[in-house]
Amino acid sequence: MLDLELDEQYQDLVNLVREFAQQVVAPQSAANDANKTFPYDIVKQMGELGLFGLPISEEYGGSGGDYFHLALALEELGKVDQSVAITLEAGVSLGAMPIYRFGSAEQKEKWLPELAAGQKLAGFGLTEPGAGSDASATHTRAKLEGGQWVIDGAKEFITNSGTDITSLVTVAAQTGVNEATGAKEISTIIVPSGTEGFTVAPAYDKVGWRASDTHPLHFDAARVPEENLLGERGRGYSYFLKILDEGRIAIAALATGAAQGCLDEAVAYAKTRTTFGTPIGKNQGISFMLARMATRVHSARLAYYAAAAKMLAGKDFKVEAAHAKLIASEAAMDNARDATQVFGGYGFMNESLVGRHYRDSKILEIGEGTTQVQQLLIARSLGL
């Protein structure tokens, strides 16, 4: 029989991050959101707790844990502040993991210790103005000249790309054409912050995740050494697909936390808010809404647990990650809507946690693979 109880090591981490989220992160969330303030102090403390190094081996300064450790931490942070949670998620799964999975020993030794410590952040340069869900349509180009990659192009919606502690962006770029198939050869190249010709444009004015860092990027003959090629030439597209599969488990965990946070807030409010002399939670219409919210959380958690289990077992988890991302992102959005309804007018105020979740959760159905992309992956697994 399956036992879904967490082992002691996992539960200890949950307890640690839950306390940190409630006592340190939550009190600052409303102000950081309102002022669009990147939470440098919180990031520093998360680094000191070892959260940025959870799935990275001790050899490179990590905690020596696994990807499920990261997912559990993201769920707890996602309950109270999605901006903080996505900063950690992108910093690890999109920033550090490409180097950890595919980098050379020299690249790992150079970049990972500071990334694993949370002292530096890295971005994941995939999306472009004309290449989102169809990432193979990448237009950014890189050519070798005199032992250097010369990069031209643009990226958009890149998280953690413009902070004061951003050290690099891993960029997907066309590096040629496959002569046999005529397909674009896409490679991944490490571009350090401050590289001449690499410009970080002003931050976006976002609907949600307003305390996280997101920028468009421009490359105008940006030059980096040939050894900044990450992994094998021409394997960049497959690398990013693998990173996105892992990232979908992480996003599903974050979304599950958001859905749980909405449920927790709505239940507490329904027990104390009275109308006509009775707590509103006594009304069947409200209680059934809360029951539906609880079921969504339960389903989302089971889905990402299942995907993580297959990943850690070394089995193909692509479809399970798509299930988890689809279920959890919709649970977060639906629970944010219902929690806002329970709170009424107060839920529509930005200082309300459920109001922030309502703005924040929509991007969970878009980033790291839209709902429609997850449906496409699942349909293909059915032979359709």
Long-range contacts of 300-306 (CB under 8 A, 24+ apart): 300/252, 300/255, 300/256, 300/259, 300/324, 300/327, 300/328, 300/331, 300/332, 301/75, 301/256, 301/260, 302/4, 303/252, 303/327, 303/328, 304/71, 304/249, 304/252, 304/253, 304/256, 304/328, 305/4
Give the other-Cβ count within 10 Å of 100's Cβ: 21
Structural class in CATH, domain 238-381 = mainly alpha
Residues 6 or more apart in contact with residue 234 via CB below 8 angstroms:
175, 176, 178, 185, 186, 187
Q: Residue 144: beta bridge partners?
A: 149
CATH superfamily of 123-234: Butyryl-CoA Dehydrogenase, subunit A, domain 2 (2.40.110.10)
Catalytic residues: 368
pLDDT < 70 regions, the chain: 1-3, 132-133, 135-136
Matching fold, domains 123-234 and 238-381: no
Instruction: Determine the Cα–Cα distance for residues 272 and 4; give it in Å rounded to an integer.
Output: 32
pLDDT at residue 125, as a whole number: 93
pLDDT at residue 1, as a whole number: 45
pLDDT digits (tens, 9 = 90+) for 301-338: 999 999 999 999 999 999 999 999 999 999 999 999 99
Domain ranges of the chain: 8-121, 123-234, 238-381
pLDDT at residue 130, as a whole number: 78
Q: Residue 279: beta bridge partners?
A: 274
Instruction: Determine the Cα–Cα distance for residues 320 and 41; give it in Å rounded to an integer.
Output: 35
CATH code for the part of the protein at 8-121: 1.10.540.10
pLDDT digits (tens, 9 = 90+) for 333-358: 999 999 999 999 999 999 899 999 99
Distance of CA 151 to the CA centre of its chain: 26
Q: At what angle do helices 318-343 and 236-272 cross, to 10 degrees?
A: 30
DSSP string, 137-171: G---EEEEETTEEEEEEEEEEEETSSSTTEEEEEE
What global pTM score does this model have? 0.96
Q: How buried is 97 (Cβ within 10 angstroms: 0-12 exposed, 13-18 middle, 19+ buried)?
A: buried
Structure tokens at 347: 């839920």
pLDDT at residue 215, as a whole number: 97
